Structure formats: structure tokens, C-alpha cells
Chain A
Amino acid sequence: MGHHYITEVKNEKFVFTKRSRMIVGGVFILGLILTFIGMGQVKNQDHPADAEHTALVVDAPQHEGGAAAAEEATDAGHGEEHAEHSTGMKRIWANFLLNSYYFMLFAVGALFFMAVNYAANAGWATLLKRIMEAMSSYLPIGIITIGIVIYFGRDYLYHWIEYLEKGLKPEDTGFDKILDDKDWFLNKGWFLFGVPAIMLVWWLFRFILGKLSTNEDANGGTTYFYKSIRFSAAFIVIFAFSFSILSWLVMMSIDPHWYSTIYSVYNFAVAFVTTLSVIGLFTLWLKSKGYMEIVSDEVIHDIGKFMFAFSIFWGYIFISQFLLIWYANIPEEVVYFDARLNPHYKMLFRTNILMCFFAPFLILMMRNAKRNPKVMLIAALIILCGHWLDLYLMIMPGVLHDESGFGLLEFGMTIAFAGFFIYWVLHALSRKNLYAINHPYILESVNHDVGV
């Protein structure tokens, strides 16, 4: 009983211990090793004779799809125009794109969430601001990895680039009207310039907001706070447009004949819900290590509410995209879901809906679930795995058709990226104090009360 208003926050400093460094670094190195083993395995994938062998080495799902798909590939010859790229290389690049994009989403999502908190004058998450800052400090790595994909891996992933380079005229055989019509937007120059430019703009905002935060820590006062609000508001507007463009260029152009107007919102939903799950996981981990005692259940509860709400949001956007296309049944639109509802991807497609919507919806519905660290941990992990699968289903059918699989490559590369991401974020977190102590809303966050 009773309510005690806390008027003072003792700052803490996170120590990234040698043991933690070893473990996270070890995960990264293990991931790298597994990636290289996996790469060796999939190298053989494009030789139908070796398909049996590959299927035996990697996991069970591979066995179902791998052998059959490899035969199919030679029969149907669907890769006619880009036959020179081996399936193995395509699979490696597709995985690299998946993980680059996935972890970049956390970085930009954290920056966006921070900006939203500033712009909305919200104070409840102020205690977690450093976690968001640390997460968004991964942005340069995201820029580099996505840059690698679009400069070195583009021929393996985006077949429209190859098509446009041929420069076919309407009377030529193999002329593609849809790609030709989209040329004003979907062209190589804009692709190679736009994607890095957009992310550099984000990084610029991250730099400014980070600088303001550092200065606020050193000098105090509210000037930095008001400046941050202005930059945050600007960032939200720029982010809305630029993230749409980025998701079209990087993700939707994998299936260049298809378009969905809600696709960027869908990607945003993925970004936001995964970001909140990651923020929640870092908070819970820090709390379990004895840091952040002052972060009350109320704050965790609100993070849980956000995860719950945006899982529903994702479900809403998903069904909005799916239902219209499924119902209208127009060939050039339905081809996207046709590729994802064939026997090879059907189960993954359903699992995806189950993991991204139904599981978090049912798990996080109860109030006590959101206040229970174990339940939150499970929910966050389900959301993260589900949205990894979500991105898998966005990329793989377009790049690999029915020849994708789950093997050491997929597993290892994700582990490697995750290890690197966690190392980077924890390192960034250890360099500053754990709380933005001069933030005007810090006490509001400490004394936060959700009311119920």
C-alpha cells in the first residue's frame, strides 16, 4: 500500500563484462563457422545430381523441398534468363539480405520509437532511452550490410536489373511491359543511389539526436530536449516517406512484377513490433543482471502493451494485403501469394500467421502476462522468430522459388548477425550512463503508473 514518489534517480553504468563479451562473441564466431559450413553445403545445390546428397546433410524440411525442387528446376527451367547464377549463391545472398534487413529494422525502429516518444511528449519510456540509442547505433552497420547486398549481390537477387540492362524495345522478344513501365522508378541508378542515401539520412538524424543526448547529459537544461523534439518530428515525416521507398526498392522489387500499396506499411509493422520486442528483451536481460532496478513493472507492462497492440496491427495489415489480393484474384497480383501458398511454403505461411499474430495475441492478452518477465520473454522470442520467418517469406519465394530451405546457412547466418548485433548494442550501451538523467521526463518514467 501507499505510493512513494521517487524524486531522485541514481545513474548506473552498464559494464559489458569480459564473460559476456566472450559469450556474445562466441555466438558470433559460432554463427560464422556454421555459415561457412552451410555455404559449403548449398554450393552443391544447383547440381541436380548432388541434390540427394545435400538433402541428406541438412535438415528435414530441406529434404522434402530440396531434391524435388532441384529436379523441378531443371525441368521447368524457370531460371532461364538468369541461369548463370547458381542457386547456392542466390541462397547465400538471399540470406544475407534477410539478415541485413532484419537487423537494420531494429536500428531504425529504435530510432523511430525514440523520435515518437519525443514528438508525442511521452515520458514513460525515458528510462529505456539509452537502450534505444544503443540499438540505433547499429545503423551504420545496417547501411554497410545492405550496401554490400545492393552493390555486390544485386545480380543474384533482383532480376529486373539484369532485364533493364538488356534495354529491349517493345518489338523485341522477351520484352516486359510491366518492368518497362516501372523503369522511371525501378531503375539501377536510383536503386544504387536511393537506398544508401535514404539510410544515410536516417544515420544523420541518429547522429544529431545522439549528439543532443550527449550534450544533455553533460550540460542539462531543456534546450536539448526541445531541439530533439523538433528533429524527431522532422525524422518521423522523413522516415514515413523514405522507409516506404526503401521497402519498395530493397524488398518489393524482388518480385518486380507485383505491387502492393500496403507493402511499406506491412514492413513498418514488422519493424515496429520487432523493435519493441528487442527493447523488451534488452530491458529484461539488464534487469535480470541486476541493472535497471528502477524500471518498474509498469514500464515493462507498457512495452508489452505495445507488442500486443502492434502484433494486432501486423495482423490487420497482413489481412488487408492478403484478403484484397486473394479475393480479387487478379493474375498479376495473386502471383505473389500463389508462390507462397504452394506446397513448399504453405506450412511456413501458416506458421508465420500463427507466430506473428495468434501467439502474441493470446499470450499477451492477460494483464499479468505482460507483467511476468518469463511470459514476456517467450512472447518476444516468438514475435522475433515469427517476423524472421515473415521476411523469409518475403524474400525466398521471389529469389529461390521452391529451392529454399532451412539449413545451417540460414541458422548460422542469423546467429552470426544476432551475435554481432548484441555485441554492438551492449558495447554502445556500456559507453554511456544507463539513464538519460537530465531528460526532463526521467522522473515521469520512474514514477510511471499505467493506472490499472
Chain B
Amino acid sequence: MLDKKLIIGVYDDGDNLLHSVEKLRKRGVEILDCFTPYPIHNLDKALGIKRSNLTVGAFLCGFTGFCLGLLLQFYTMTSHLHTFKSWPMIIGGKPQNYMMIPSMVPVTFECTILFTAFGIGILFFIRAKMIHGKIPDILDPRQTDDRMLLVVTPDQLGEVSRSEFDSIITSAGAIEIREHNPEHSNDNQH
């Protein structure tokens, strides 16, 4: 993101940010992104962001865990899978046919949860391009404290002229308008 020319509106109130997003989108301005220190209700709807597919990923991870958990138990506890000279484990008179499935519930459940939790965490980091050692895309240090940023690229303004854009967001409550130019410096990084 830092390699593009950007126009940044700085806000100190989430509602003002939300209202400017609504106004700008009504005028046909596509907004690159918003940065807020805490979640603002309905902002993603106002930005027109599609719902994340993370839940589908969670389901697939969970399903994988479910299957692997069952496989693990069939492999280690029974002789149903003839891949290994396994020794059927009969604990508490447990039967060695499909009736043993209740005894597999806890491990299967735990595997499902484990795979879902780790899988969804890893997927989130991949999707958000967050990895250890990455230089953070911080446009303004205050975005992690008490300010909200509204970021657009100049070509996203469309029919709206730059001065019009400024007046729209200032009237909606932006306290400051900045520009980011990658050619100049990396003054935004610290």
C-alpha cells in the first residue's frame, strides 16, 4: 500500500468516518481502505466489503480435523485399517465394531476444535498478509491510538475533484487531510 500515492483523511470520531464513507460512496468514490483502532459497526457494510470467506475456511479446517481424528483412532485403536500390524485396544469391554464410535467422540471433537482454531488463525494471518518480520503498513502512527484514517488513491476519486473531496470529508468531520507520496520519503515509517 505504501508504494502508491495516497490521500489520507484523519478523523477523531468513528461516526464521522462512517458518514464520510457513506457520502463518498454515494458520489462514486471507491475507498481503498479505512484504519481504525477499534471496530466500527457497519463500516465494512458502508465500504461495500464483501463478507469474508474465513468461515468456509473454518468449516474445511474443522472437517479435516474431524476426519483425521477419526482416522487416527481407527489406525491406533482398531485393526480395521490393515495398514499396520495394529493391536486392537479393548478398554472397558469396548466392542470392536461400529458400536465403538461413542468412545471416539471426545478425541474427534478435540481434533475438530484444534484444527479449526489453529487453521482459522493461520488462515487469518495468511489472508491479512501478516507474518513475523514484516514491515508494518502504518500510514500514521496515530491510527493505532485514537485516530481513524480514510485512505483513497487519487485515481479512485473518479468524477469528484480533489477540492470537492476535501470539502466533503472536512464537512463530515475530518480533522486533517494528508498525502502520502512514496517517491518523497518514508516519513510515515518510524
Q: A327-B92, A327-B94, A451-B39 are in contact. Are A2 and B102 (CB under 8 A)?
A: no
A-B contact count (CB 8 A): 42
User: Does the CB pair A2–B22 fall under 8 Å?
Assistant: yes
In the assembled complex, how far is the CB of residue A262 from the closest CB belonging to chain B, in whole angstroms? 15
User: Does the CB pair A3–B93 fall under 8 Å?
Assistant: no
Residue A286, interface by CB 8 Å: no
Residue B41, interface by CB 8 Å: yes
Interface positions of B from 7 to 41, Cβ below 8 Å from A:
18, 22, 25-26, 39, 41
User: Does the CB pair A449–B102 fall under 8 Å?
Assistant: no
Closest to B45 in A: A3
Residue B161, interface by CB 8 Å: no
* Alpha-carbon gap, A124 to B18, bound state (A): 22
Residue B106, interface by CB 8 Å: yes
Which B residues are CB-close (under 8 A) to A452? Answer: 51-52
Residue B48, interface by CB 8 Å: yes
**Contacting chain B: which of A9-17, A318-326, A410-418, A434-442?**
A318-326
- Count of interface residues, chain B, beta-carbon cutoff 8 Å: 22
Interface positions of A from 310 to 350, Cβ below 8 Å from B:
319, 322-323, 326-329
Residue A367, interface by CB 8 Å: yes
User: Does the CB pair B93–A329 fall under 8 Å?
Assistant: yes
User: Does the CB pair B59–A365 fall under 8 Å?
Assistant: yes
Partner of B42, one of A3, A323, A326: A3
* Alpha-carbon gap, A121 to B16, bound state (A): 27
Closest to B41 in A: A449
Closest to B92 in A: A327
Partner of B103, one of A1, A327, A449, A451: A327
Residue B55, interface by CB 8 Å: yes
* Alpha-carbon gap, A2 to B48, bound state (A): 9
- 25 inter-chain pairs at a CB distance below 8 angstroms, sorted by A residue, are A1-B45, A1-B46, A1-B48, A2-B26, A3-B41, A3-B45, A319-B102, A319-B105, A322-B102, A323-B103, A323-B105, A323-B106, A326-B102, A327-B92, A327-B94, A327-B103, A328-B92, A329-B92, A329-B93, A365-B59, A367-B55, A449-B42, A451-B39, A452-B51, A452-B52
Interface residues of B (CB under 8 A from A): 18, 22, 25-26, 39, 41-42, 45-46, 48, 51-52, 55, 59, 91-94, 102-103, 105-106
